[in-house]
């Protein structure tokens, strides 16, 4: 119960990777502030099954005023946020010349700017406690690019940069900031891309899944939300006290190529 008495806020924790990380932190004893769209009662039950408290706030991560309200809500409910996981994210796939400008703005707002806002609002409490963990969910696309993902790749490279600056500004404190860079994880965000590929190439979903993995991920295996939960938890242990500003790949060899 390494995190007993601590509070973790995980953005986008109603689904996929965010839910996997929130569950791992709850298993280690942390109370959880949940966020994200869609059903939250089912995910909340998955978290409270570990004997911790969970509170949900439905802030839209593209809206700074709602992010401020969520951070206030966390302070009112739990006193403050000890572990901040910036995870909420969306994707849009299209060549630059036909990329809808409003999708660009939304991806930059949700996948990048939201982390600036939560981080600036979380730091004062973490500094006061001289302990904190900021974990940014970047991507293999924070380290290398793929075509037709201009906004996503720009936002993910951006969040790796933000992680480094955050780590440097806090380097003499007990607050660390690191990024996790997953390869393919089979969540709704990726299932959509697999289904689009199957439809456009007129192949089965199984074949599209094989091709997707084969193209980028040498292990030919998905990384799982549970594995990413384990890595996030590692960043919260004393073993990681001096791990600062890293972009840690969990990508089946994608970025080793
Ligand atoms: P997902 O679609 O399963 O979950 C995304 C979560 O973000 C959901 O809870 C959703 O409700 C929430 N969300 C979306 N827009 C939001 C908004 N405006 N405000 C608040 N919450 C919002 O996707 P996922 O695959 O679990 O992705 C989580 C993160 O991991 C994203 O940042 C994504 O870029 C990153 N990532 C995913 C993969 C992958 O292969 N799935 C790989 C690398 C990085």
Centroid of ligand 1 to alpha carbon of 88 (angstroms): 5
Burial class (CB in 10 A: 0-12, 13-18, 19+), 133: buried
Does residue 152 carry a catalytic annotation? yes
The pLDDT score that the predictor gives to residue 84 is: 99
> Could you give the percent of the chain with pLDDT greater than 90?
99
**Residue 162 pLDDT level (bands cut at 50, 70, 90):** very high
Six token digits for residue 183: 């390869």
Q: What is the pLDDT of residues 194-251, one digit of tens each?
A: 999 999 999 999 999 999 999 999 999 999 999 999 999 999 999 999 999 999 999 9
Q: CA-to-CA distance for 257 and 218, rounded, in angstroms?
A: 9
Mean pLDDT computed over every residue of the chain? 98
The pLDDT score that the predictor gives to residue 1 is: 73
Q: What is the pLDDT of residues 91-115, one digit of tens each?
A: 999 999 999 999 999 999 999 999 9
Q: Is the dihedral of CA 94, 39, 35, 85 positive or negative?
A: negative
Q: Does residue 254 surpass a pLDDT of 90?
A: yes
How do strand 132-137 and strand 31-34 relate by DSSP bridges?
Answer: unpaired
Provide the CB-side half-sphere exposure for 39 (13 A, CA): 6
> Could you give the percent of the chain with pLDDT greater than 70?
100
Atom of ligand 1 nearest to the CA of 222: 40
**Non-local CB neighbours of 253 within 8 Å, separated by 6+ positions:** 217, 218, 219
Q: Which residues have C-beta atoms less than 6 Å from ligand 1?
A: 11-12, 14-18, 35-38, 60-62, 87-90, 110-111, 137, 139, 182, 184-185, 187-190
CB count in 10 Å sphere of residue 184 = 24
Residue tagged active-site, from 78, 152, 235, 254:
152
Q: What is the pLDDT of residues 4-47, one digit of tens each?
A: 999 999 999 999 999 999 999 999 999 999 999 999 999 999 99
């Amino acid at each position: 119960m390494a995190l007993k008495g601590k509070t973790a806020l995980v953005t986008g924790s109603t689904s996929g990777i965010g839910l996997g990380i929130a569950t791992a932190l709850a298993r280690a004893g942390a109370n959880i502030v949940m966020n994200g769209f869609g059903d939250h009662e089912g995910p909340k039950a998955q978290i409270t099954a570990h004997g911790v408290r969970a509170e949900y706030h439905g802030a839209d991560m593209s809206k700074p005023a709602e992010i401020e309200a969520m951070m206030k809500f966390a302070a009112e409910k739990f006193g403050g946020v000890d572990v901040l996981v910036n995870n909420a994210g969306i994707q849009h796939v299209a060549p630059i010349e036909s990329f809808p400008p409003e999708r660009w703005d939304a991806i930059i707002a949700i996948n990048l700017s939201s982390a600036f806002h939560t981080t600036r609002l979380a730091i004062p409490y973490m500094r006061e406690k001289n302990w904190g963990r900021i974990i940014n969910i970047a991507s293999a696309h924070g380290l290398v690019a793929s075509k037709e993902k201009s906004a996503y790749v720009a936002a993910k490279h951006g969040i790796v940069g933000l992680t480094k600056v955050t780590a440097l500004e806090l380097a003499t404190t007990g607050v660390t900031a690191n990024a996790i860079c997953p390869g393919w994880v089979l969540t709704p965000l990726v299932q959509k891309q697999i289904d689009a590929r199957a439809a456009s190439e007129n192949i089965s979903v199984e074949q599209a899944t094989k091709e997707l993995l084969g193209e980028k991920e040498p292990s030919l295996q998905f990384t799982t939300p549970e594995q990413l939960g384990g890595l996030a938890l590692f960043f919260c242990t004393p073993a990681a006290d001096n791990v600062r500003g890293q972009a840690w790949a969990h990508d089946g060899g994608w970025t080793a190529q």
